[in-house]
A and B are shown apart, each in its own frame.
Chain A
Amino acid sequence: MIAAVPQRLRPLPDELATPMRYRLATCASGEPAGIATDRAEVLRYLGYRGQAIDEALEMRIEHIADELERALEPHGTSRIFSVAIATDASGQPCIRLAGSAIELHGRDAYRRLKDACAAAVFAVTLGMESERRLRALAARGPVAAAVGDAACTALVEAAADRIDATVRHAAAAYGLSSGTRFSCGYGDCPLSDQRALIDALDARRTLGITLAPSNLMIPTKSVTAIMGLFEGAPAHDAPTASCAGCTVRNGCAFRAHGDVCWRAPSPSAKESV
């Protein structure tokens, strides 16, 4: 491994360098400012495209989403590292996060982080209770299983949004702007890069997230993400998620199914795939 080229490596303010931990209570648990499952997102994950839904099905979906919201409390952790540009084992430029073993490969990560002074890395999970709940729902039947899966996905995304916003806010207090978050396994950023990320966040110990040999996270309802922090405006970073700048857009399996890997930032943008 070639050593990192020291580049714009300024020490981070203590407050930003301190690892943060989050317990994200849900509204359903009685926390007024808590996170909530976006019901429209649940439907979207279930493939909803405006079909007529009868009340019985709507009730079933609502019941499961509510039950999960009450039962689950997402936990997360974030940490900010200085960004360094390096060369990986195959001679390609890559992004290294100083003080960690994280090395992000591929053009997408490079493009998003090469002008960043730091990167926030975070992980959030619904915990093993979500796995158990999903198993119990699966025993009730496939409808419950699919609805539960979609509801959990929407909830963990809401939790990720909350951490995203918190980090963004903290960085802004030090005059840093934040880029759009991205994750390993999307675009050309290999899923295998996730292992170092989980290690650097100590997410196994602090959140109970483990990686299967295939680099999938367990609990499955977990999200890891990386977000560039910039002095001034985020450079080379699309203001909203889209497929336009993605390097694997032509061979993308999501697009082959008329889907996308990213989530539209606002309800109004949902129809535009």
Chain B
Amino acid sequence: MNTTSIATSAPLTARLRAGGTWKPRTLDTLRIADAELRAVLEGRRNLVIDGAMGTMLQATGLAVGERPELLSITHPAQVRAIHEAYVAAGAEVITANTFGANALKLGDAATVAEVFAASIARAREAGARYVAGDIGPTGSLLRPLGTLSFDEAYELFAEQARAAEAAGADLIIIETMTDLAEARAAVLAVKEQTNLPILATMTFEADGRTFLGTTPEAAAVTLDALGADAVGINCSLGPAEIRPFVKRMLSVTSKPIMVQANAGLPRVEQGKTVFDIGPEAYAHAVAAIVEDGASIIGGCCGTTPAYTSLLAELARERTPRVRRIAPALTVASAQRCIALPAHEHRIAVIGERLNPTGKKRLQQALRQENMDYLASQAISQEEQGADILDLNVGLPELDEVRLMERASEQLQASTTLPLQFDATDPVAIEAACRRYPGKPIINSVNGAAESLDAVLPIAAHYGANIIGLTLDDEGIPATAEGRLAIAQRIVDAAEAAGIPRERILIDCLVMTASTNQEQVAEILRAVTLVKQRLGVATTLGVSNVSFGLPARAVLNATFLASALGAGLDAPIINPGSARYMDVIRSFRVLNGEDAGSAAFIERYANAPDPYQQAVAAPAAAADAAETAPVQTGDENSIEHLVISGRRGETRRAVEALISQVDALELIDAHLIPALDEVGRRFDAGTLFLPQLMASAEAAKAGFDVIRAHLGSTAATKGAVCLATVQGDIHDIGKNIVKMLLENYGYRVFDLGRDVAPEAIVACVREHDIRLVGLSALMTTTVPAMADTIEQLRRTAPGVKVMVGGAVLTPDYAREIGADFYAKDAAEAARLTEACFADKPYA
């Protein structure tokens, strides 16, 4: 990887490698307007922020849907007058009229700098004590659910942050966020581009989650760790409805909490929009929130200076009390927050299956960038009871940095479990942590100076937790005290870098009982010592203990139970092992985590004792819906099973025949003819789409058996690149084509959806692709398809292009320069066969 790409993927590491310095962000590194504002940020003083701008602007007759930020330039007097009314009502912070002033929303209407300069000037003119630059959402949804990349969002926010500081803002308010990834991008941009204090709030629905599923806890711990100086809730609902969510935030962060509630829902009375909570009721409800511990208060939609003056009164009458939260290790995804309190023994299972070491299928999936396979592994670990997922994509020949970023992004869409980034290259670790919407774990740092210097700044800067391995340049100490000494060194270095000890897990490193039997007891003692002396959480890769011994799972389970007894908090295990999960679930009864043993009883009340079971266990679990008996011996049955879409039975039939019949014979005489027949029936209309796909799934199950049998000697007919074009997010059709082509023996590089032309060109060149399949579902994205074809023609003249999608027709396909038009997936497969056979397709 060259230096420019490191600078993009991992700017902090790039800077450190270039000899640059880094120091943790504290209140002392910020430009804070005065001692009073500093007292606010230290939680010693209340602060009153103004109320709604939109409501006030609408009262002046602004049409719904116009860019209100431009009024700071076009109607300065009106905007200033609104600010003046809030100042007069007692607002200490005036929020400049810049909420949607980003390059994306402003377009050509004005520059970001112009709008921030004008808006901040209007707030100053009004006599504001503090002026806040206001940053709202970009208006576009971030990947993986949307199309905007984290880096693009960051750039939009960075431009706003610089403009706000240049125009003389005293602080930045980031608000109304529903996407934790976007909120993080904004906080990071302000933190990296300015020295201003950051107040960050998100918007929650009645179910206690944002539209993207973020909980108050996940938002609070993530934004706190990243460096927001106050976190909180705005907009959403009325203050009474918000109060329980505020309490949830108060319990997980010691940062000041900010609240700007709505005045209820709008309705129209005599032609005017009104809100259903009046100033007195509103202030009364906010007073309760302030009593709970929130210290920065203001209004949102529907509030006016009348509300602000009551808030100012209640803030003046009170001084925030000192809040103490129970220390806990918190790990968060955008949807879920896992907490391990320091003073209670709780267990979090870290799933270890997303690590290619010794896993051939995962290795293959990573090589082919088959992210669906990673997603399915993540989902099954979640179902099996994992709380956190370790992610390791390290294979010698692959680009770990890019893969780590891509895998992390894909997993965010398919699992709600927090991730643990497992890599040795600091660039890969930083690239993933920088863009992760949550508070992940870094696996790992060790006691060697080189490791500490490279990894601790990343954990500190991005607000990640960190696993510290008790080894250094001298190796792993033999005694518990030796391990404790390294752990102590790691904790000291981390705290010096601004990482509190609640964010540290120590791994005392499991040795193999077969070679270091005397060490096993030392490891357990080290776990206890580290917890007692340092007050940090502990983790262990449990299964190492049994290496080289028989009945590994038995030994591992016993060791796991012992380690939990010694105080282990976060075992790294395979949650697919019932034996380990039996230990976990029973220990959660013993440590009091499973209150009333409810979960244990629900799971085991009617479960048979595994040791009482008959010895003859079924060889393979049958698919739930497919329990019909297997007809073996009859080779023709494979064809029938594929055509009728019976996945489990096809797999078993192929398994039964594989040792008797030549693999190629199975493919060429049975599976492929079956697929051809399915294609013909689909064309004739006697099968419909799900039946075609079920057949393809059945055939795939058969091919998987054959490939496993042949091992790496399985040849492919050629490589095909598939993508849904840029701007389009429909991928069902493309995925069907992918499965069919894989069945026909092609190696498919699936680039996913919303793919830039450049990425397709790069894939074609890197893998010497002969055929590219492009899909577009909307008329609006066909131009992107045309552009992709044009770029391919220019840069890879030999490549053929096949297109498909609901809005395409043969004429349209020709017009945009495609070689082939496939009306459906079955035809795409036939076109591919013809293309690779160099035959014209008729």
A220: chain B residues within 8 A (beta carbon) = 729-730
Tally chain B residues at the interface, Cβ within 8 Å: 71
- Expressed in whole angstroms, the minimum distance between the Cβ of B223 and any Cβ of chain A is 19
- Expressed in whole angstroms, the minimum distance between the Cβ of A188 and any Cβ of chain B is 11
Q: How far is the CA of A178 from the CA of B211 in the complex (A)?
A: 32
Contact of A214 among B65, B414, B728 (CB under 8 A): B728
Cβ B271 vs Cβ A101 within 8 A: no
Cβ B65 vs Cβ A200 within 8 A: yes
Q: Which of B153-198 contact A (CB under 8 A)?
A: 176, 178
A139 touching B379 in the complex, CB below 8 Å, given contacts A49-B685, A56-B646, A257-B806? yes
Cβ A146 vs Cβ B64 within 8 A: no
Pick from B134-142, B283-291, B531-539 the stretch touching chain A.
B134-142
Cβ B147 vs Cβ A57 within 8 A: no
Cβ B685 vs Cβ A51 within 8 A: yes
Q: How far is the CA of A59 from the CA of B690 in the complex (A)?
A: 12
Pick from A28-36, A106-114, A125-133, A165-173 the stretch touching chain B.
A125-133
A101 touching B806 in the complex, CB below 8 Å, given contacts A142-B732, A208-B212, A212-B146? no
- Expressed in whole angstroms, the minimum distance between the Cβ of B232 and any Cβ of chain A is 17
Contact of A215 among B137, B646, B780 (CB under 8 A): B780
Closest to A145 in B: B732
B807: chain A residues within 8 A (beta carbon) = 253
Cβ A146 vs Cβ B689 within 8 A: yes
Q: How far is the CA of A102 from the CA of B147 in the complex (A)?
A: 25
Q: Is A18 located at the chain interface by the 8 A CB criterion?
A: yes
A51 touching B688 in the complex, CB below 8 Å, given contacts A145-B735, A146-B693? yes
B736: chain A residues within 8 A (beta carbon) = 142, 146
Q: Is B259 located at the chain interface by the 8 A CB criterion?
A: no
Closest to A20 in B: B267
- Per-position contact with A for B397-426: 1 when CB-CB < 8 Å, else 0? 000000000000000011010000000000
Cβ B687 vs Cβ A218 within 8 A: no
Q: Is A265 located at the chain interface by the 8 A CB criterion?
A: no
- Per-position contact with A for B245-279: 1 when CB-CB < 8 Å, else 0? 00000000000000000000111111100000000
A210 touching B140 in the complex, CB below 8 Å, given contacts A46-B690, A47-B688? yes
Q: Is A239 located at the chain interface by the 8 A CB criterion?
A: no
Contact of B213 among A128, A138, A146 (CB under 8 A): A128
A246: chain B residues within 8 A (beta carbon) = none
- Expressed in whole angstroms, the minimum distance between the Cβ of B781 and any Cβ of chain A is 5
Q: Is A254 located at the chain interface by the 8 A CB criterion?
A: yes
Cβ B213 vs Cβ A212 within 8 A: no
- Expressed in whole angstroms, the minimum distance between the Cβ of B180 and any Cβ of chain A is 12
Contact of A142 among B686, B688, B693, B780 (CB under 8 A): B693
Q: Is A27 located at the chain interface by the 8 A CB criterion?
A: no
Q: Is B609 located at the chain interface by the 8 A CB criterion?
A: no
Q: How far is the CA of A213 from the CA of B375 in the complex (A)?
A: 27
Cβ B178 vs Cβ A59 within 8 A: no
Cβ B265 vs Cβ A21 within 8 A: yes
A149 touching B690 in the complex, CB below 8 Å, given contacts A19-B266, A139-B414, A254-B806? no
Cβ A212 vs Cβ B376 within 8 A: no
Q: How far is the CA of A100 from the CA of B64 in the complex (A)?
A: 4
Interface of B is mostly: loop
A146 touching B809 in the complex, CB below 8 Å, given contacts A47-B689, A59-B625, A218-B141? no
Q: Which of B361-402 contact A (CB under 8 A)?
A: 372, 375-376, 379
A253 touching B690 in the complex, CB below 8 Å, given contacts A51-B685, A54-B644? no
Cβ B139 vs Cβ A143 within 8 A: no
Contact of A56 among B212, B376, B414, B645 (CB under 8 A): B645
Q: How far is the CA of A56 from the CA of B210 in the complex (A)?
A: 38
Q: How far is the CA of A129 from the CA of B690 in the complex (A)?
A: 24
Closest to B66 in A: A101
Cβ A136 vs Cβ B65 within 8 A: no
Cβ B141 vs Cβ A210 within 8 A: yes
Q: How far is the CA of A14 from the CA of B269 in the complex (A)?
A: 6
Cβ B739 vs Cβ A56 within 8 A: no
Closest to A125 in B: B211
Q: Is A174 located at the chain interface by the 8 A CB criterion?
A: no
Q: Is B697 located at the chain interface by the 8 A CB criterion?
A: yes
Cβ B63 vs Cβ A101 within 8 A: yes
Q: Which of B693-716 contact A (CB under 8 A)?
A: 693-694, 696-697
Q: How far is the CA of A61 from the CA of B694 in the complex (A)?
A: 12
B147: chain A residues within 8 A (beta carbon) = 212-214, 218
Closest to B271 in A: A11
Q: Is B665 located at the chain interface by the 8 A CB criterion?
A: no
Closest to A15 in B: B268
A204: chain B residues within 8 A (beta carbon) = 137, 139
Closest to A199 in B: B65
A191: chain B residues within 8 A (beta carbon) = 778-780
Q: Is A196 located at the chain interface by the 8 A CB criterion?
A: yes
- Per-position contact with A for B723-749: 1 when CB-CB < 8 Å, else 0? 000011111100110010000000000
Cβ A139 vs Cβ B372 within 8 A: yes
Contact of A61 among B645, B690, B735 (CB under 8 A): B690
- Expressed in whole angstroms, the minimum distance between the Cβ of B677 and any Cβ of chain A is 15
B806: chain A residues within 8 A (beta carbon) = 253-254, 257, 259
A56 touching B626 in the complex, CB below 8 Å, given contacts A101-B66, A131-B413, A142-B739? yes
Q: Is B808 located at the chain interface by the 8 A CB criterion?
A: yes
A127: chain B residues within 8 A (beta carbon) = 211
A131: chain B residues within 8 A (beta carbon) = 145, 413
Q: Is A135 located at the chain interface by the 8 A CB criterion?
A: yes
Cβ A99 vs Cβ B64 within 8 A: yes
Q: How far is the CA of A129 from the CA of B490 in the complex (A)?
A: 40
A214: chain B residues within 8 A (beta carbon) = 147, 727-728, 778, 780-781, 784
- Expressed in whole angstroms, the minimum distance between the Cβ of B54 and any Cβ of chain A is 9
Contact of B729 among A48, A143, A216 (CB under 8 A): A216
Closest to B784 in A: A214
A56 touching B625 in the complex, CB below 8 Å, given contacts A132-B213, A210-B146? yes
- Expressed in whole angstroms, the minimum distance between the Cβ of A142 and any Cβ of chain B is 5
A18: chain B residues within 8 A (beta carbon) = 266-268
Q: How far is the CA of A262 from the CA of B152 in the complex (A)?
A: 36
Cβ B271 vs Cβ A14 within 8 A: yes
- Expressed in whole angstroms, the minimum distance between the Cβ of A211 and any Cβ of chain B is 7
Closest to B777 in A: A216
Closest to A100 in B: B64
Q: Is A256 located at the chain interface by the 8 A CB criterion?
A: yes
- Expressed in whole angstroms, the minimum distance between the Cβ of B150 and any Cβ of chain A is 15
Q: How far is the CA of A59 from the CA of B139 in the complex (A)?
A: 40
Cβ A46 vs Cβ B271 within 8 A: no
Q: Is B812 located at the chain interface by the 8 A CB criterion?
A: yes
Contact of A210 among B139, B210, B372, B735 (CB under 8 A): B139
Q: How far is the CA of A202 from the CA of B269 in the complex (A)?
A: 19
Q: How far is the CA of A141 from the CA of B742 in the complex (A)?
A: 13
- Per-position contact with A for B792-824: 1 when CB-CB < 8 Å, else 0? 000000000000001111001000000000010
A211 touching B691 in the complex, CB below 8 Å, given contacts A191-B780, A257-B806? no
Question: What are 15 A-B pairs with beta-carbon distances under 8 A?
Answer: A14-B267, A14-B268, A48-B688, A49-B685, A51-B687, A51-B688, A128-B211, A131-B413, A146-B689, A191-B779, A200-B65, A213-B147, A214-B778, A218-B141, A253-B806
7 shortest interchain CB distances as A-B pairs:
A208-B211, A101-B65, A214-B727, A199-B65, A139-B375, A17-B268, A210-B141
Taking A56-B625, A218-B141, A253-B812 as known contacts, 11 extra A-B pairs with beta carbons closer than 8 A to each other, sorted by chain A number, are A15-B268, A54-B645, A135-B375, A135-B413, A135-B414, A142-B736, A143-B693, A143-B694, A214-B728, A253-B779, A253-B808
Q: Which residues of B contact A (CB under 8 A)?
A: 63-66, 137, 139-141, 144-147, 176, 178, 203, 210-213, 235, 265-271, 372, 375-376, 379, 413-414, 416, 625-626, 644-646, 685-691, 693-694, 696-697, 727-732, 735-736, 739, 754, 778-781, 784, 806-809, 812, 823
